[in-house]
Chains A and B, each alone.
Chain A
Amino acid sequence: MKKTLVKFAAMAALGAVMGTAAFAQDYPAKEIQGIIQWGAGGSTDTVMRTVTPHAEKVLGGKVVMKNMTGGVGAIATKFVYAQNPDGYALLMGAENPLLYKVMGLGDIDYSEFTPINILARGVPILVANNDAPFDTFDEMVEYIQAHPNEVKFGSTGPGGLPSVVTSMIASKIELPVTQVPYDGDGPALTALQGGAVDVMPAVLGASIEAIRGGRIKAITLIDNKPTEVLPDLPALGETHPEYADYFPWGPFFGVFVKNGTPEDVVAKLTEAYAEGAKSEDFVKLMADRGYIIESLSGQEAQDFLTKWQSLTTWLLHDAGQTKASPEEFGIPKP
């Protein structure tokens, strides 16, 4: 009885190995699911829907994309985590899962996944209502310090880009502001135009059209060098070198598969998305929206994620915005 069981197990294991091998050769043999963490029409959605058709051509298969929203992307992340690691479920997400652990949103983050491609990175920018009585970073800081808690900063809740940027700035100077939370950067930027908030740390891509239209004014770019989109805008890392170490930092978009996916499948997907990231459509979209194409894969992508997580979680932790210390999860200090 025991022997048969062992034999059976061995055969099953062999079968599984052979199955996988056969599988990987003719991957993709069926439709691939692409689970997008954010809603239709949002920036993650736009990025994924632009790049994927070009990746499909290289893959020679179909990627069916589906939006699975909720829980700051955690629902989609958990869903893909629950699938078999066979390369037929791709997680198409943004930076948020790297903060789940410290924000108390669950234990599954990108460490459970293999990055296929970190496609692009957004550049944060500080924008203000046109009537705000300051135009530069120094004037803003001076005004804020002279009027403690009176200046309203738009926010998207703890862990969102605005809260990280605000923590970055506040890590070097006194910054007594009131943070007003909104559902996302869209509604917060709307509130900025209407004067319900005075300053908003936003991603360049989301605010660029309003800046071009003269609806809001740009204060400083949160990066080390100015952007081509707004060449006259000073970069904080240049004007205030004490911040330079933090940058480049920004939200990012990436495609992931669950750990344990066969290596040749990962290789094939990596190749496909690397090609996709070179496509004209994608390059144009990223340039228009002020995103910087990264197209990182393999170890480079892994390093990017590690650095990002370490810097951001510790910043948030030091600002008192986390529920658990990054130390608990073995996230090293930057």
Chain B
Amino acid sequence: MQALEYFLIPWLDLKLLFLVAAGTFAGVYVGAIPGLSVTMAVSILIGFTFTWDVYPALCLMVGIFMGGVYGGSRTAILLNIPGAPSAIATAMDGYPLAQKGQAGEAIGIATVMSFVGGLIGIIVLAIAAPTVSEFALVFQPRDYMLLAVLGILLVGSLSGESLVKGIFAGAMGLLIGTVGLDPLTAEERFTFGLTGLWGGISFIAVMIGMFGVSEALMQLHHVDKTAVKQKISRIVPNWASIRRYLPLSLQTSSIGVLIGALPGTGGDIAALMAYDHAKRVTRNPEVPFGQGAKEGLVAPETANNAAVGGAFIPMLTLGIPGDAVTAIMIGALYIHGLNPGPMLMIEQPQMFWFITGALVLANIFMLIFGLTGIRIFTKIVEMPRTVLIPLILLLSIVGAYAVNNSISDVYWMLGFGVLGYFMKSYGYQLGPVILGVILSRLLDENWRRAIISEQGSIAGLFKGMLTSPLSLVLLATVVLIFVSQTPLWRCVRGKLGLESRP
């Protein structure tokens, strides 16, 4: 009963209620602008809310977090520029929908599904946080490595027509990710003696360039074409279609919560894995994936918002951050005189329920702010291209600069934009490049940790994989997915007399 009392604190205090709302509203727009990230917004807020009490400060941060993760889908759908890394998968089917004149409907689905995903994430946080965090701790370096390999296999579903080109693009992404000081030994890699490259190539700059600038350059080809008229008859998806996607959204939300709860992986990887999952389990999509399948929108949007609740699980139960944003929030708790750790739940149970309450509230505000104003937003796509293209370029430049306040990031962004344009022109998909950049570090670090832990013995590594149940399941999944993408699989299926699906 006391839990409910704590849970309702942000609901009953007008000031806190307002702060959650303001945070969520700001989050939606911060998230929608590429380059302005939730992580950045929350770190600015730390300084800003320093003298405040802890409750108002947390309300604002929770709001920004929830709103920001959702906001990334806006620009992904409307302009094919993901506002945040977690919206990359959203662009793949969201943008084709906008091109067909269904931007309003796409945003509507993304919003409602983000709400569903967010809610599932919070429910898991509220009822199973200790169990999930114990499970997250079981993950060893080799398991993170297998998870990264599983992620790399997504190249298969992101490479479009040519798998070979997809693999090439993915490998390029992995390579881009290795530039900079080696995170384990601080050794320079591909820096050519330039200290400016120590920090590596900003992943956000690559993402903005590859999606934003290359898209603008592509559109220059048809400047004279008139924009697609948007149908905005139906924005809020009807109950029947929500029910139809409910089984899928439950599955993808579970992926989101778990990946979000793992320290070291966050919403971006969750969304991509969920997209791949949707592609695998959806037998007959109304429209093929990549051309505007609604399932391709449902999966990443539920997963990335479910990952928000997931990220709070290890933070609130053990004081371990689930992602970059919760890492900063742990710092904020310290500054406000609390000691986040395993004792927090016992000594200060009100914090747990307070944050859960604020999250639910932020989720509701996200739904409200998400569903209003869609009409105005869809007008963006209807703008003449001569206005839209400079706007995209401007947004890309501002976004790339904002990441580190560094002009060299803008140059990187422009360079990758031009490269992305040529890659697109020659049939290389850009999704695998971004996938490679995201996973590069996870794969690199954990493979090395795993092999160092086994004192350099490959046999030891495999023995570890085969004796741990978790690693075994992950390994089996990797093998299964890999084999299912090769001709061998079809051959086996044929022999067994199973009908093969296209």
Which residues does A use to contact B, with CB under 8 Å?
Answer: 39-42, 45-46, 49-50, 53, 65, 67, 69-72, 74-75, 78, 103, 105-106, 149, 152, 157-159, 178-183, 186-187, 189-191, 193-197, 208-210, 212-215, 284-285, 288-289
Closest to A68 in B: B404
**Which residues of chain B are within 8 angstroms of A189 by Cβ–Cβ distance?**
320
How far apart are A75's CB and chain B's nearest CB, in angstroms? Answer: 7
Chain B residues 299 to 346 lying within 8 A of chain A, measured CB to CB, are 314, 318-321, 327-332, 334-335, 337, 339-344, 346
Q: Which 9 A-B pairs have the closest CB atoms?
A: A41-B331, A209-B341, A213-B342, A40-B43, A70-B199, A41-B328, A194-B137, A181-B184, A71-B198
> B195 touches which one: A39, A106, A194, A197 (CB < 8 A)?
A106
Contact B452 A178 (CB under 8 A): yes
Closest to A216 in B: B342
**Which residues of chain B are within 8 angstroms of A70 by Cβ–Cβ distance?**
198-199
Query: Is B46 among interface residues, defined by CB-CB distance under 8 A?
Result: yes
Query: Is B141 among interface residues, defined by CB-CB distance under 8 A?
Result: yes
Tell me whether A289 and B334 are in contact in the complex, defined as CB-CB below 8 angstroms, given that A180-B449, A181-B184 are known contacts. yes
Measured in the bound complex, the distance between the Cα atoms of B340 and A40 in whole Å is 16
> A215 touches which one: B342, B452, B453 (CB < 8 A)?
B342
Measured in the bound complex, the distance between the Cα atoms of B468 and A215 in whole Å is 22
Tell me whether A193 and B140 are in contact in the complex, defined as CB-CB below 8 angstroms, given that A50-B335, A71-B198 are known contacts. no
Chain B residues 169 to 209 lying within 8 A of chain A, measured CB to CB, are 181, 183-186, 195, 198-199
Contact B46 A49 (CB under 8 A): yes
**Which residues of chain A are within 8 angstroms of B319 by Cβ–Cβ distance?**
209-210
Closest to B39 in A: A40
Query: Is B422 among interface residues, defined by CB-CB distance under 8 A?
Result: no
Contact A187 B263 (CB under 8 A): yes
What are 21 pairs between A and B in contact, CB < 8 Å? A39-B43, A40-B331, A75-B199, A159-B186, A178-B453, A186-B321, A190-B314, A190-B320, A191-B141, A193-B320, A194-B139, A209-B339, A209-B341, A209-B343, A209-B344, A210-B319, A210-B341, A212-B341, A213-B318, A214-B342, A285-B335
Contact A49 B342 (CB under 8 A): no
**Which residues of chain A are within 8 angstroms of B455 by Cβ–Cβ distance?**
149, 178
**Which residues of chain A are within 8 angstroms of B328 by Cβ–Cβ distance?**
39-41
Closest to B332 in A: A41
How far apart are A196's CB and chain B's nearest CB, in angstroms? Answer: 5
Closest to B47 in A: A65
Closest to A178 in B: B455
How far apart are B463's CB and chain A's nearest CB, in angstroms? Answer: 14
Contact B185 A157 (CB under 8 A): yes
Query: Is B445 among interface residues, defined by CB-CB distance under 8 A?
Result: yes
**Which residues of chain A are within 8 angstroms of B482 by Cβ–Cβ distance?**
none
How far apart are B173's CB and chain A's nearest CB, in angstroms? Answer: 20
Known: A40-B47, A187-B264, A190-B320. 6 other contacts (CB 8 A): A71-B198, A75-B198, A157-B185, A181-B452, A182-B449, A284-B337
Query: Is B220 among interface residues, defined by CB-CB distance under 8 A?
Result: no
Measured in the bound complex, the distance between the Cα atoms of B334 and A65 in whole Å is 18
Contact B331 A46 (CB under 8 A): yes
Chain B residues 336 to 377 lying within 8 A of chain A, measured CB to CB, are 337, 339-344, 346
Tell me whether A41 and B264 are in contact in the complex, defined as CB-CB below 8 angstroms, given that A71-B195, A149-B455, A178-B455 are known contacts. no
Contact A53 B137 (CB under 8 A): no
Contact A49 B47 (CB under 8 A): yes
How far apart are B50's CB and chain A's nearest CB, in angstroms? Answer: 6
Measured in the bound complex, the distance between the Cα atoms of B338 and A46 in whole Å is 12
Contact B198 A74 (CB under 8 A): yes
**Which residues of chain A are within 8 angstroms of B320 by Cβ–Cβ distance?**
186, 189-190, 193
Contact A67 B43 (CB under 8 A): yes
**Which residues of chain B are within 8 angstroms of A178 by Cβ–Cβ distance?**
452-453, 455
Measured in the bound complex, the distance between the Cα atoms of B330 and A42 in whole Å is 9
Closest to B42 in A: A40
Closest to B186 in A: A157
**Which residues of chain B are within 8 angstroms of A186 by Cβ–Cβ distance?**
320-321, 327
Measured in the bound complex, the distance between the Cα atoms of B328 and A272 in whole Å is 27
Contact B332 A288 (CB under 8 A): no
Contact A215 B198 (CB under 8 A): no
**Which residues of chain B are within 8 angstroms of A49 by Cβ–Cβ distance?**
46-47, 50, 335
Measured in the bound complex, the distance between the Cα atoms of B49 and A53 in whole Å is 12
Measured in the bound complex, the distance between the Cα atoms of B138 and A191 in whole Å is 9
Measured in the bound complex, the distance between the Cα atoms of B343 and A288 in whole Å is 13
Closest to B325 in A: A41
Contact B453 A212 (CB under 8 A): no
**Which residues of chain A are within 8 angstroms of B340 by Cβ–Cβ distance?**
209
Measured in the bound complex, the distance between the Cα atoms of B137 and A194 in whole Å is 5
Contact B331 A215 (CB under 8 A): no
**Which residues of chain A are within 8 angstroms of B238 by Cβ–Cβ distance?**
none
Question: Chain B 28-57, CB within 8 Å of chain A: the 1/0 string?
Answer: 000000000000001100110011000000
Measured in the bound complex, the distance between the Cα atoms of B263 and A158 in whole Å is 23
Measured in the bound complex, the distance between the Cα atoms of B184 and A72 in whole Å is 12
**Which residues of chain B are within 8 angstroms of A190 by Cβ–Cβ distance?**
137, 263, 314, 318, 320
**Which residues of chain B are within 8 angstroms of A209 by Cβ–Cβ distance?**
319, 339-344
Closest to B40 in A: A40
Question: Chain B 134-175, CB within 8 Å of chain A: the 1/0 string?
Answer: 000111110000000000000000000000000000000000
> B445 touches which one: A40, A67, A183, A212 (CB < 8 A)?
A183
Contact B331 A42 (CB under 8 A): yes
Closest to A192 in B: B137
Closest to B51 in A: A53
Contact B138 A194 (CB under 8 A): yes
**Which residues of chain B are within 8 angstroms of A212 by Cβ–Cβ distance?**
341-343
**Which residues of chain B are within 8 angstroms of A191 by Cβ–Cβ distance?**
141
Question: Chain B 382-425, CB within 8 Å of chain A: the 1/0 string?
Answer: 00000000000000000000000000000000000000000000
**Which residues of chain B are within 8 angstroms of A196 by Cβ–Cβ distance?**
140-141, 449, 453
**Which residues of chain A are within 8 angstroms of B263 by Cβ–Cβ distance?**
187, 190
Contact A215 B318 (CB under 8 A): yes
**Which residues of chain B are within 8 angstroms of A197 by Cβ–Cβ distance?**
453
Contact B46 A41 (CB under 8 A): yes
Closest to A189 in B: B320
Closest to B327 in A: A41
Contact B335 A46 (CB under 8 A): yes
Chain B residues 248 to 307 lying within 8 A of chain A, measured CB to CB, are 263-264
**Which residues of chain B are within 8 angstroms of A72 by Cβ–Cβ distance?**
181, 186
Contact B449 A181 (CB under 8 A): yes
Contact A71 B452 (CB under 8 A): no
> B337 touches which one: A67, A193, A214, A288 (CB < 8 A)?
A288
Closest to A193 in B: B137
How far apart are B270's CB and chain A's nearest CB, in angstroms? Answer: 19
Closest to B181 in A: A71
Measured in the bound complex, the distance between the Cα atoms of B184 and A122 in whole Å is 23
**Which residues of chain A are within 8 angstroms of B47 by Cβ–Cβ distance?**
40, 49, 65
Measured in the bound complex, the distance between the Cα atoms of B52 and A49 in whole Å is 13
How far apart are B485's CB and chain A's nearest CB, in angstroms? Answer: 31
**Which residues of chain B are within 8 angstroms of A288 by Cβ–Cβ distance?**
334, 337, 339
Contact B453 A46 (CB under 8 A): no
- With most chain B CB atoms within 10 A of its CB, the pick from A50, A106, A149, A191 is A191
Closest to A214 in B: B342
Contact B334 A285 (CB under 8 A): yes
Measured in the bound complex, the distance between the Cα atoms of B202 and A70 in whole Å is 12
**Which residues of chain B are within 8 angstroms of A179 by Cβ–Cβ distance?**
452
**Which residues of chain B are within 8 angstroms of A214 by Cβ–Cβ distance?**
342
How far apart are A115's CB and chain B's nearest CB, in angstroms? Answer: 24
How far apart are B291's CB and chain A's nearest CB, in angstroms? Answer: 39
Measured in the bound complex, the distance between the Cα atoms of B191 and A106 in whole Å is 14
